[in-house]
Amino acid sequence: MSVVASNLVWGVRRKRIVSDVSLSVAQGETLGLIGPNGSGKSSLLRLLAGLRRPQSGRVEISGQDISQIPRRALARQLAFVQQNAATDTNVSVRDVVRLGRTPHRSALSGWSAVDELAVASALERVDMTDRRAQPWQTLSGGERQRVHIARALAQSPRVMFLDEPTNHLDIHHQIEILRMVRDLDLTSIVALHDLNLAALFCDRIAVLQNGVLVACGRPAEVLTQSLLRDIFRVQAEVNNIDQTGRPHIRFKTG
């Protein structure tokens, strides 16, 4: 499914938080969303996922205006992995992931083999099968993050929104989760702080500054020394690491 945003504007009181943002993400593409703290990444993600109504502008999912799609139908198509998402206590890992199946089930239908398979394969993909009976509140921060990703996968979405999904994860799981997101046959939009991981795993990168989309393109086009200096206020050297042309950033500290 494609996602097309046109002239999105959102703010609170007099403060503009997302300012006239237009972008499009093709079916199967992984778009990275980067920008300094407070630049509007989470706010834009929520607008794109239909969790928040823009003050003006619109979002279309495969050509359909998202504001016209009923909530439940939308939940069958889109999954959102929030930053630091909380979950009720006294539930097991498997219970949390099972919640991902809710939009696919009616009041009358029982738990099906399809539901069971979706949950099992989601747990497997985030490397949490062995922990399925563990109480959620006893998990570490990184394990909780992986379980929330599994819950989104169990939803079998066509588009996935992830807000800093690598937060709390060790480097192995950062790479595994982003590799999985890239290789899944679905459209994904992912807010990231690690610019080298964004360069490695995203097809294109969109850059926000003060709610304005200041650049959008392939990693090598976007992650230039001048952009890193002007938007992120860091001095860095940018090299191409291999023939794929994906840039590697070396930050200068001196």
Q: Which residues bind ligand ATP (CB under 6 A)?
A: 12, 17, 35, 37-43
CA 232 to chain centre: 21
Query: Judged by CB, which is closer to ligand ATP: 41, or 98?
Result: 41
Helices 141-154 and 113-125, packing angle to 10 deg = 140
**Residue (43 or 155) nearer to ligand ATP, CB:** 43
CA dihedral 42, 43, 46, 50 (to 10 degrees): -160
Minimum CB separation from ligand ATP for residue 9, in Å?
13
Phi, psi dihedral angles at 58 (to 5 degrees): -150, 165
- Based on CB atoms, which residue is closest to ligand ATP, 119 or 207? 207
The widest CA-to-CA distance across the chain, in whole angstroms, is 64
Q: Which is nearer to ligand ATP, 44 or 177 (CB)?
A: 44
Q: Which is nearer to ligand ATP, 12 or 107 (CB)?
A: 12
Kindly report the length of the chain: 254
Q: Least separation, in Å, of the C-beta of 104 and ligand ATP?
A: 29
**Minimum Å distance from CB 8 to ligand ATP?**
12
| Least spacing, CB of residue 114 vs ligand ATP, in Å | 35
Cβ 160 to ligand ATP shortest distance, Å: 17
Is-contact 33 189, C-beta < 8 A?
yes
Cα 195 → chain centroid:
15
